[in-house]
Structure 1
Amino acid sequence: MFLYVVNISKALAYLSSDPKACINCHVMNTQYATWQHSSHGLRATCVECHLPTNEGVLEKYIAKAKDGWNHSVAFTLNTYDNTIGISEDGARRVQNNCISCHKSVTSTLVTNSDKYHQFDDPGVATGRKCWSCHKSVPHGVVRGLATTPYNLGVKAVN
């Protein structure tokens, strides 16, 4: 039974860095399609944004296993919302990766923060996330399961 579940779920694909592994579950087709047609589609993979990149290999696979378990439970038991959100841990990882990849821009923002943000803005004090302003990067502005009809032709290759 275990081998059957591993085979039918394409579980070994999750050990790779291939973004198509993310669409093994039909639930992620919208995220894949919107990423594929975004500015990040040619420059960054799902793994480069959503998993730890500046930590060790062990941390990367622990995060991957944790996310994989949470995703498989939510998708199997149908306990996710129509608009899929990111966990706090996932948001922290994505934020760290945004800052790391765009360090030349972010260092300029920090240096000139008095010109870019108002000091009375509560978002600055609580650590505003990059996507609070850059909402359409890299998954577009709409995030529902039905927002990309026919998923822009995205199909998993068997």
Structure 2
Amino acid sequence: MVRLVRALWRGYTRLFSGWTRIALAVLLGVVLGVGGFTVYYSGVTGYLGDDPATCANCHAMDEQYEAWQRGSHHDVATCNSCHAPHDNIVYKYINKADNGFWHSLKFTFQNYPENIQIREHNREITEAACLYCHGDFVDQATNSSTHKDETVSCIRCHDGVGHMR
């Protein structure tokens, strides 16, 4: 595979000589430099971690971050504990990239509702996270007379648990 890439690169670069080669190198350097600066300046690598302060980088999330700090899960859970999948690390980072793209797009262009809404697949991830940590308790609750034969939706009744206002 490496030989194929090298051969393709050599064939491509042979098309250019003299000033065109220099111009191509400068253009490639500018693109890589601007791209690298953008990645550094945006702090995008911080989103690969688990620090809740990273989620509050955008002023639109200040209210949620402050509510989480006062909330009941502050000492035991981070943003990713509730808003990222637990069952597959690849899916976790795909989900984080998907959310990061849409969040940055909407926040950059100020195109988001005043009352930020969770998307349906993220709601499902949050429900699964509740069951990941509280599954035994939920099993007991669903066997009680209160929730018998119901589809359990943790956030329908407990939407303020992780971030009390």
Q: Tell me, yes or no, whether TM beats 0.5.
A: yes
Distance 1:132 1:111 in 2: 18
Q: Tell me if 1:45 matches 2:69.
A: no
Rg larger in 1 or in 2?
A: 2
Moved over 4 A (4+): none
Bigger fraction of residues in helix: 2
Q: CA deviation at 1:46?
A: 0.5
1:153 match: none
Distance 1:68 1:101 in 2: 24
2:141 match: 109
Q: For 1:1-158, what aligned pairs fall within 5 Å after superposition?
A: 1-53=34-86, 55-112=87-144, 115-117=145-147, 124=150, 127=151, 129-141=153-165
Distance 2:72 2:154 in 1: 15
Give the share of equivalent positions with the same residue, in percent: 35
Distance 2:37 2:78 in 1: 29
Structure 2 stretches lacking a partner, 5+ long? 1-33
Structure 1 stretches lacking a partner, 5+ long? 142-158
8 Å CA contact retained: 2:142, 2:152: no
1:146 match: none
> How many equivalent pairs are there?
132
8 Å CA contact retained: 1:40, 1:138: yes
* SS at structure 2 position matched to 1:78: coil
Q: CA deviation at 1:99?
A: 1.3
* SS at structure 2 position matched to 1:136: coil
Distance 1:116 1:100 in 2: 22
Distance 1:47 1:83 in 2: 21
Distance 1:140 1:85 in 2: 17
